[in-house]
Amino acid sequence: MNNFRHKKINTKNGSLKTPFFMPDATRGFVKFLNNEDIRKTGIVPMVVNTYHLFLQPTMEIIKKAGGVHKFMNYHKPLLSDSGGYQVFSLIHKNPKMGKITDEEVIFRSPASGEKHIITPEKSIQIQFDLGVDMMVCFDDPPPNNYSKEKISKAVERTIRWAKRCLIEYNKQIKKRKLTDKNRPLIFAVVQGGEHVDLRKRCADGLIEVGEEVGRDWDGYGFGARHVDEKGVFLEEILRATASFIPEKSLRFALGVGTPEDIVRCYPMGWDMFDCVIPTREGRHGRLFIRNKQSEFPISNFQFPNKSKKISKSKNKNSFYKIITIRNSKFKKDFAPVDKNCDCELCQNHTRAYLNHLFRSGDPLGMRLASIHNLRFYAKLMKELREM
């Protein structure tokens, strides 16, 4: 069985095989982990966030360091998110924090109150200054519960801004004398909320932009949340959106997700994933354990109807379970978290010891749990790549 997508992409910091998962090193680090910890989990690419790095430590410092790879001393592929989602959420939540026009977005830094202006062009310039290997267009991401009319307007703005981003991208390539071998890959973002027709309109509009500007997008992302307000996985929308993206382009499911959501998206044709779940859950003492009794081929995988709350995932058919290590039942449990896992935690420590670390509030517990969960994700992706 091999009708799954397996692509190889080359970046100036190494090649990657799809499907792959990127943890979020939002501010240039994964909380509690250093580069060696990341390397040992088997994770390679990571996501940094333009908005957060722009505000702190600021671009002045990153440029002085020689780019984000040198600043982090991480010389593997990095993708920067455009920061659009963060800026728009800030203003959607509190309109006093800024103003959105067709030309630009003006916003105030939540920390300092300082006023900043961001445009599609500026977002692309910042991402070139970061020196990342993959960058994402500055788009208009409306919440899924907005009216269809409002989402349609966001789709049209996303297309107009994508054109400005791609024109600026071409300018920067020329100015910086980059070639096809060392240029960053560029991704457009398909918006459209929970409306298949709007997703189609957005994808078609973005493809046209590529034709007009004379450069194909390297990939397309899935914009906005992949679950609805009740947490139900938007199966039809994700499947349709993937089908609207040209076969040869990379498909990036932004913010996806739980292990089962990744396993659901991959056969639809999604290649790349990023999410805070493995590390955030790890910091809260929730650990992923692969259920060896229920191996998937994907075709046999039983999808639950609803994307269950991560901490309450008790689906017996699932290929994994989650344990909450703080529970008193682990106080005297001297087995490893997962006897089949080769991570630093499982090779060296017991559940009882990790329970003690979490109950004592020591950061070592959060570090070890994050390492274990990233190892779980790295192994899951390897399994999918080998299918």
Q: Cα 22 to the chain's mean position, in Å?
A: 6
Q: Is 186 exposed, middle or buried (0-12, 13-18, 19+ CB in 10 A)?
A: buried
Q: In angstroms, give the least distance from the CB of 42 to Zn ion.
A: 12
Residues 6+ apart with CB under 8 A from 63: 129
Give 89's Cβ-side CA count (13 Å radius). Answer: 9
140 is catalytic: no
Residue 305 CB coordination number (10 Å): 8
* 341 near Zn ion, judged by CB under 5 A: yes
Q: How far is the CB of 336 from Zn ion (least distance, A)?
A: 7
| Shortest CB 305 distance to Zn ion, Å | 30
223, 277 contact by CB (below 8 A): no
DSSP 32: T
Note whether 69 binds Zn ion by CB under 5 A.
no
343: contact with Zn ion by CB under 5 A: yes
- Pairwise CA distance, residues 34 & 371, whole Å: 10
3-state secondary structure of 239: helix
Catalytic position from the list 81, 139, 218, 261: 81
The conformation of residue 298, written as its DSSP 8-state character, comes to G
Residue 372 interacting with Zn ion (CB under 5 A): yes
Closest to Zn ion by CB, 175 or 382: 382
By rule CB under 5 A, what count of residues binds Zn ion? 5
CB nearer to Zn ion: give 37 or 139: 37
Q: Is 354 in the site for Zn ion (CB under 5 A)?
A: no
81 is an active site residue: yes
Q: How far, in Å, are 25, 132, 281, 348 from residue 80 at the CA level? A: 10, 6, 22, 34
Q: Does 245 bind Zn ion (CB under 5 A)?
A: no
**Cβ at position 360, least distance to Zn ion in Å:** 20
Stretch that binds Zn ion, among 168-176, 206-214, 260-268, 345-353 (CB under 5 A): 345-353
Q: Does 237 bind Zn ion (CB under 5 A)?
A: no
Stretch that binds Zn ion, among 115-123, 213-221, 311-319, 338-346 (CB under 5 A): 338-346
Residue of 129, 139, 274, 338 marked active site: 274
CB of 282 to Zn ion, least distance (A): 10
Three-state DSSP at 206 gives: helix
Interaction site with Zn ion (CB under 5 A): 341, 343, 345-346, 372
User: Which residues are catalytically annotated?
Assistant: 81, 274
